[in-house]
Amino acid sequence: MKFSETKTFKNLSDAFAGESQARNRYAFFAGVAKNEGYQHIQAVFEETADNEKEHAKVFYKLLVAHTKEETEIIHVDADYPLVYKDTLTNLKAAAAGEREEWAEIYSKFADIAEKEGFSDISVAFKKIAEVEKHHMTRFDHYAKGIEQGTIFKKDSPTVWKCTNCGYIHEGPEAPGQCPACAHPQGYFEELPEKY
């Protein structure tokens, strides 16, 4: 049987497309976060977009390696979220997508790949699922912070870092403007990250 006739080929194709689309969604979400004054959340979306690009690259390379001399056109028929709203909504949608990937989709894809004899692909799905779980936790953390009003203000003294210049501030609230570089509050993040 040709690799392109296996369930694993279809799953890998869908995963490649899904990661590629997630990358672009997160890049779009980064712009929204920036416009709303959440520059550190912008950076989280940008970093995650870069991670998704690398996941897509892993899946694409596996597709190429296993198709060997075959030339295939990949057909993808899948559902993807259409969300582009405020940062809180985008964070929640991103967390839900990551949750589905690590908890349901990639574990199922890994099992199928293993049963079909593609242990390298199974391992890739499992390891990337671990990263997606971290993405979910991170997005949930920031969504909770926005909902509770604790992104820039805490109940106790906190160490804050300006992500533009590295200035460190200690206090229950991030400065409205960085005393060192004059960038707005949105550039401050809590240290250490607690998610």
CATH topology of domain 153-191: Rubrerythrin, domain 2 (2.20.28)
pLDDT at residue 76 in the model:
85
In the chain, which segments carry CATH 1.20.1260.10?
Answer: 3-148
- Cβ-based burial of 188 (10 A; exposed 0-12, middle 13-18, buried ≥19): buried
Q: What would the pLDDT profile of 122-156 be if each residue is shown by its tens digit?
A: 999 999 999 999 999 999 999 999 999 999 999 99
In this prediction, residues 49-68 reach a mean pLDDT of 96
Q: How far apart are CA 29 and CA 35, in angstroms?
A: 10
| Least confident residue range of 1-5, 51-55, 108-112 | 1-5
Say yes or no to pLDDT of 182 above 80.
Answer: yes
Confidence of residue 89 (pLDDT cuts 50, 70, 90): very high
Architecture of domain 3-148: Up-down Bundle (1.20)
Closest CA to 30 of 52, 1, 13: 52
**Strand-by-strand arrangement of the 168-173 sheet:** 168-173, 153-162, 188-191
SS3 category, 126: helix
Q: How far apart are CA 9 and CA 48, in angstroms?
A: 25
Q: Which residues pair with residue 188 across a beta bridge?
A: 162
pTM value?
0.92
Looking at residue 38, the DSSP 8-state letter turns out to be: -
In this prediction, residues 92-107 reach a mean pLDDT of 97
Q: Round the average pLDDT of the chain to a whole number and report it.
A: 94
Say yes or no to pLDDT of 192 above 80.
Answer: no
In the chain, which segments carry CATH 2.20.28.10?
Answer: 153-191
Confidence of residue 1 (pLDDT cuts 50, 70, 90): confident
CA distances from 10 to 55, 80, 113, 171 (A): 16, 16, 11, 52
Q: What would the pLDDT profile of 101-114 be if each residue is shown by its tens digit?
A: 999 999 999 999 99
pLDDT at residue 172 in the model:
96
Q: How far apart are CA 154 and CA 184, in angstroms?
A: 18
Confidence of residue 194 (pLDDT cuts 50, 70, 90): low
